[in-house]
Every structure is written in C-alpha cells, then in structure tokens.
A and B are shown apart, each in its own frame.
Chain A
C-alpha cells in the first residue's frame, strides 16, 4: 500500500499552489491592513517561519521514513497522550478546511451568485473535493502538476495586465517606510499558512526520493513567497496603501482595473474559476490527510469510505460556522493562527521526546 508515488517535482508544484491560493485571494486584505508597506517583508519573514516549521517536521519524519506518524506516534508518547493530540490536529485541519470553504462561499455569494443558498454551493464544493480525495494520494499531486503552469500563468499575468495603472514612484516606500515591527503581524499570520507544508509529515512514506525533500521545501516556499510578493507590490503600487487597506478583496479590485483593450475588461470570473480549481486541489489534499489519519487511528484498512462522511461533516460545520462576516472575523482573529501553529508544532514535541528516549536507551545500552 505504501508505494512511493509522489515525486519531488509533483510536491514542488502542489505545495506552491497550496500556499499561494489561500494567501492571494483571502489574506491580502488583512495583510495590507495590518502592515501596509511592510507587507512584503512580512511575507518573507513568514516564509522563513514556514520553512523552519517544515524542516522540523521533515527531520522528524526522516527518523522513520517508511512508517506513518499516526502509528508510531503511539509508541513514542503513550497512547493516552497520542490520540488526544492527533484528535487536536485533526480538528485543526477540519477548521482550516471549514474556514477556507466559508471564505469561498462568502466570496462567491457576495460577488457572483447572490441569491443562491449557501448550502448548495458548499454541497457542490464538497462533492468536487471529496471526488478528488477518493482517488487517493496520486490524484492530488497529479492534478497540481497538470494545473501548475496554467495557474502560474494566471497569477503572473494579473500584475502584468495592470501595469499601465502602476505608479512606480510609490515603490520607493518599500525601502523607506517598511519596518519589521509593522511586518510582524503579517509574518505571524502567514507563517501559519506557509507552515501548512508540514503536512508532509503525514504523507512521508508516499514520497519518493525523500532525501531531496528539504531542497524542494525551500524551493516551493520561495516560489510561493515570490508570487505573493509579485501580487502585493502591484496592489500597493496601483491602489496606494491607504486605499488598499480599506478594501476587503483588493485582488479582485485590481483585476477589475485591467484596462488593456476593452474586451478583456472584466476577466475576474474567469480568473476566479481557475483559482477555484486550484483551491479545490488544496482542500481535497487536506481532506485526504484527515481521512487518512482518522482511518489509521480507527485501524481501518482503507481510508476511502471515510471521505464522504467527513466531507459532509465539514460542510455542515461550515454552514454553522459563522452567520455573518463580523462573526467570522471575530472568530478568525481570536486565535486561529495560534491554533494552527500549535498543531504544526506538535510533532516537534514528539521529536524532542523521541530524541531524549533514544539517548536514554543508548545510555542504558552503554551501561550494560
């Protein structure tokens, strides 16, 4: 069952898409509100935080490259501690998927599909996500491979198309105004998103050429950070920091400012459609990881049958998550990032305990 099906190239392409899609559409508004001109700096710092977290996970995974963390974790710390921690990680991932789905549905309802009830949109999203997750680990990475170039071109072309609106003198502000203090809130939020790459730990046995994982991590994190900055800088330059801070979805607004030829003017539905496919790939991966972990904990042989029920559960919880935007924001700002950080750093705890245990064993063996 555990054949090495995921290549490094696929991982690189997949995780780039994984990180970029959420940040570009949802987080840029918040990032600009918190940091203004220091946002690119914050992105870089957040990327570094993400790399550090992922490196810890990879180093821990390397100790047992062919077993699943969900299984051997029970040996490192006792079962009584392991299962609650796993449950916490699973719930955090649930929350991530639910938050992303809620934001997707909010975006679509607000701009494009006013009047449609939210449950039907979520139902369709959930159907797509679970359909892909059921096909197994291969499908997500293959899908990312196929979509990669198209997604990158779509993301890169937006700054290019708005270049006529850019006022370049504003770029000076990145050198004069940016400061680490202002950048820190952004770095904190984005660090948790860049750190989602630590999900590599849970699928480590599926990865081939595992020794290159670190290099791949650096490459995709840097590429993702570069793409995000390539979007942040044009947004700031086109809209100016004061206006950009005031908008909820600055990305959509600059897409609407595209002026090149009057027949390309309202490209945003098409860009949203392409972006939606990428974020479905991301959400189906997280869903797959959740069902994988849950099936291993429950000692089931296959994770496939669990996917539809888990997806249904997530959708229902998304509907009940927040009744309005205000509620959502108060929930989001109330520490979701911290929660995600904790779930990403839990393997670090295991790592430390594992190292200590090994040392103790070695000492015992030497004394014998």
Chain B
C-alpha cells in the first residue's frame, strides 16, 4: 500500500512538474504568439495605411506619417492653408532642415499668392515649376517621402494631390575641413576628408574638373541607408574593374553600414590574409591621383576614410610626400623606407638567430661586448625578445588612448625609465632595447598604417621560427610570406606588381620615383587603350633651348 501511495505521489509530482513546464512553455509560446500577432497586425495596418498614404487625401496621409514617426521628437508637422482653402502640411526634422530658407522660398511665395482652383496650384508647383526653389522634385510613394524626411529634406503634402514635394534644404552641422591627422605632408595640400559625403565629393571635384569623373551613388544598410559613392574616370578605368567592384558591392546586405571597413571586408579578395588588399586614405589628393591612374575610389557617408581599389604593396609603401618633393631626394627616402620595412620585421628575428645559432657571424669584439652585456640577463634570447616586443606593443597601444595632457610624460616614462631601469636591473640587455626601439621606429616609417601593422604582427611567428631554426627558420618564414603575398590579387592585379609579374613601366614608379616628365604612361591596371599620361617631350623647352644655342 505504501509503495502504491509512493508511486502515486511520485506520479502526481511528475504530473505537476509537467504541467508547470507546459504552462511555462505555453506562456512563452503564448507570449511569442501574441507578439507575432501584434507585429502582424501592425504590418497589416501599415500596409493598409500605405495604400491609404498613397491616396490624394491629406488627413489619412498625415495620420500615416504621424503613426510612423510617433515618439520622434524632432519631427515637425507644420499645417497651413493656401488661399483659397488648400490645406498643406510641411513635415521636416528640426535639426536637419534649414527652415529659414524654406520659410523664405516656399512659405512666403505660397502664402502670398491666391489660387482659385486646385489645378492652378498644381500647375504652379509641378508643371510650370514656378517656386523659387531649385533641385525640387516630387515623390508619390509614402515610403520614399519618409526616407526623404529622415535624410533631412522637407516634405510638402497637399490636399487632393497624391504627389509630395521634396524640398532640398538639408542642412546639418558638419566638421570643418582640417589638416589630415594621420597622413601629414610637409609640402603639399593639407586638406582631409570629413564625414559629409557631399563635401568629400566636392573636394574631389575641385581637383578633377572633368565630366569623365563619374560618381555612382548607392545606398546600403537597412537601417542606416548610408550613401556610398563609387568614383572613377571613365575611359581611364578598366570597364571590367568597375563591373567587378559593382558586382562585389551588390552582395552587401547588412543592417548598418557605419564605416568603410565593413565595405572593405566584404569586397576584399582574401579577408584572411594579413595583407590588406584595399588601400585607404583620408586625403583627397591621394584619391584624385589614384583615380587618374585608373583606380576606383569608394567614398562612404559619415566616414572620412576613402577606399581605393586595386592596390599593390608598393602603392602602400608610397607616401604622397614623395611626389611633392624633388625626385632624387624622394628616391633616396623611398629606399630608406624599403630598408626599414625589412628591418621592422626581420631585425629581432635576425638578432635571435645570430646570437643563438650563428655566433660566428658576429665580429669578435662586438661578440664579447654583447656577451658580457648579456651575462646578467637570466632569460634566453627568444624570451627576452618576446618580453620586450610585447611591452613595446602594449606601450604603443596604450599611447593611443592616453589623454593628450599626460601623453608626453608617459612616453618619456615608458621609453627612458622603463627601458633604462630594465637594463640596469638586468632583466633585458641593452642590445635588445636598442633592437626593439629601432624595430618600433621602423614600423612607423611605413606610410600605410595597416601594412605596418601586418608586418609588425608577422614579426612574432618569425621570431619563433628564428628561435627554433636560426636563419634557416627565417628563410622558411620569409619564403612562406613571399609565396603568400605573391599569390594575392587585388581585383585581378597581382599584389606584388611590378616585382613579381614584372613590368617595366610601373617599375619606374616603384624602384625610383621617376621625375614627372618621365612618367609617360599610366600603371598596368589602367585601361589598355588609354595609357598615355603626357606627351613624350614634357621638357621639350630644354631641347629647344639647346637647339638655339
């Protein structure tokens, strides 16, 4: 009996538990169901109201707009009546619309006139276009009108007219054009892009005053509706390249595009590679010269960074400063840059390899000095190098975020005190401090920050390889990196042009900065029938002079 009771009790308990679970589940289900039903109802209502909103009646449309823009504080619905008896509504966002202009150019004339018939008003506004407003256009879908309001335009609704006027007085605060903070030059223009895409395009247009500069506009981002502009020179840029860029961009379907890096990561050839295949810049003169070489520039609204495609590793190693200085000096500086490129990722590995595997490479006196300096250090060379490198990376990362007021002090602390103190305490040797600082400086010589970053990161696996296999390890590591870079392509252009698929003309701009009067042809990725930049005798006046003499 007791057992039976126990069993019954257990069963009851189980049933209760199950019931609870079912209740919970059903509650959840019910909740979700209810939410879904609500949403469905809302959508239905919206769709219904869409069709309402496309009607010529004013009131339902106004209701629709008010429903959609409920709890949006900045929206203003300005209802007024034009004589005789035509109700109108002006809808705009108060921070983004230039109401003064609208008052002067729209409200004043409209309210000053008398329209006896609705047709007169319609003619005045639409067919004869007699409002003192240029760039006026109209929409008849309510969704488009809503989008226009959100972009800062004003919408004018009329009773009995399904078309809605869009007033182009979008005016919001933007940053002023300042000097480029990350790409400074000594001699050359100092302007940099700002966030507003209209201003950015105007910066480009000021430099390339040609009708062949095409700017195609796209909108991406379901919620951000960000404007993205493709800029290129028709005829100079290869058609296949433009098609390819358009094709890749068309796959972007994301809820928000907030910066150009999202676009970059979508359209880049190989996103897993440490080398980025798209160049970015914040200077309009770099963008203009790239466009003139046959590249495509991608400008994104709300980002001051423009993307350039295709790119090679050598164009990332060039700074715009090179082209503004004398070509002899620029060539020398370019070679220093190439040298420091190698130093930035090979020097610590080289030191580790030589000091642990190939000590016979060091001249004897230097060897004795280095060895005696390292006597007190307890760590093996590889570990010492890792400690110093990681501390340097930490220092660099921290210095990005330090407030400017104490930035100087902290960098002095980091460099002098920590470095000196570490050497004196015997944790690292002086040679290692020198090597790490030279490497750090070298990595900042590279004009393109992302390229410097990727080389900096490749240092660490190379150090491991060097510590295990010596120079043979470095050779293998370099081989792997070389193979990888060799087979990268950026929109069909091999990454190591003109070194790997060799190309005489582009070589002129890579191995030396040829003077402008020698650069007669555009690089190889420009359209093949439009290669000539200039005539061959840019310095023809000199020949004339010599003829005369």
Contact = CB atoms under 8 A, between A and B. Distances in A.
Interface of A: 9-10, 108, 112-113, 116, 121, 124-125, 127-128, 131-132, 135, 138-139, 142-143, 145-147, 262-263, 265-267, 269-270, 272-274, 276-277, 280
Contact of A277 (B354, B473, B478): B478
Nearest to A5: B501
Contacts of B479: 128, 132, 276-277, 280
A124 B486 contact: no
B395 to A, nearest CB: 31
Best-buried of A9, A139, A146 by chain B (most CB within 10 Å): A146
B380 to A, nearest CB: 16
A128 B480 contact: yes
B486 A273 contact: no
Interface stretch (B16-24, B356-364, B426-434): B356-364
B352 interface: no
A146 B500 contact: yes
A138 B500 CA distance: 10
A262 B472 contact: no
Interface residues of B, number: 28
A87 B482 CA distance: 33
B502 A145 contact: yes
Interface string B500-534: 11100000000000000000000000000000000
20 contacts: A112-B471, A112-B472, A113-B470, A113-B472, A124-B472, A124-B473, A125-B476, A127-B476, A128-B476, A131-B483, A132-B479, A135-B483, A135-B486, A142-B486, A142-B494, A145-B499, A146-B482, A265-B361, A272-B472, A280-B479
B487 interface: yes
B313 to A, nearest CB: 11
A131 B486 CA distance: 12
A280 B472 CA distance: 12
A143 B470 contact: no
B475 interface: yes
B323 interface: no
B361, B483, B487, B496: which has the most chain A beta carbons within 10 Å? B483
B501 A142 contact: yes
B500 A108 contact: no
Q: Which of A263, A272, A273 has the most CB of B within 10 A?
A: A273
A113 B480 contact: no
Considering the complex of A and B, which 8 residue pairs feature the smallest CB-CB distances, nearest first?
A: A273-B475, A142-B500, A146-B500, A266-B361, A269-B471, A135-B487, A132-B483, A276-B475
Contact of B360 (A121, A263, A266): A266
Contacts of B358: 112, 266, 269
A127 to B, nearest CB: 8
Contacts of B494: 142
Given A124-B476, A139-B486, A280-B479, A146 B470 contact: no
